[in-house]
Amino acid sequence: MPDLGKPEILILLIVIFVLFGAKRLPGAARSLGQSLRIFKAETKGLRSDDAAAIPAPVDPTVVPPVTAQPVRDPHADAS
């Protein structure tokens, strides 16, 4: 991305001023600020959702409990 110098920034400001005009410029800046604030909050929420979705590491020294299941006789249902 090219660096913006003082002349480029001045030209951009003049173009923005001409496009929006003096009356609509404060409202456009306010709207842009609100949009950026909402975008920042949403990206922060996505990061926290991603962090919550990552499972905790499993400790290999801990053995999960084994639950006993009744043994079915496969021939018991054959009538």
DSSP letters spanning 12-77: HHHHHHHHHHHHHHHHHHHHHHHHHHHHHHHHHHHHHHHHHHSPPPP-TTPPPPPPP-PPPPTTSS
Q: What is the pLDDT of residue 36?
A: 93
Q: Are 30 and 38 in contact, with CB atoms under 8 Å apart?
A: no
Q: What is the pLDDT of residue 39?
A: 93
DSSP secondary structure code for residue 58 in this structure: P
Q: What is the pLDDT of residue 22?
A: 80
Highest mean pLDDT among 10-14, 18-22, 24-28, 33-37: 33-37
Residue-wise pLDDT tens digits, 29-72: 899 899 999 999 888 887 776 666 666 677 777 766 777 777 77
Q: What is the pLDDT of residue 33?
A: 93
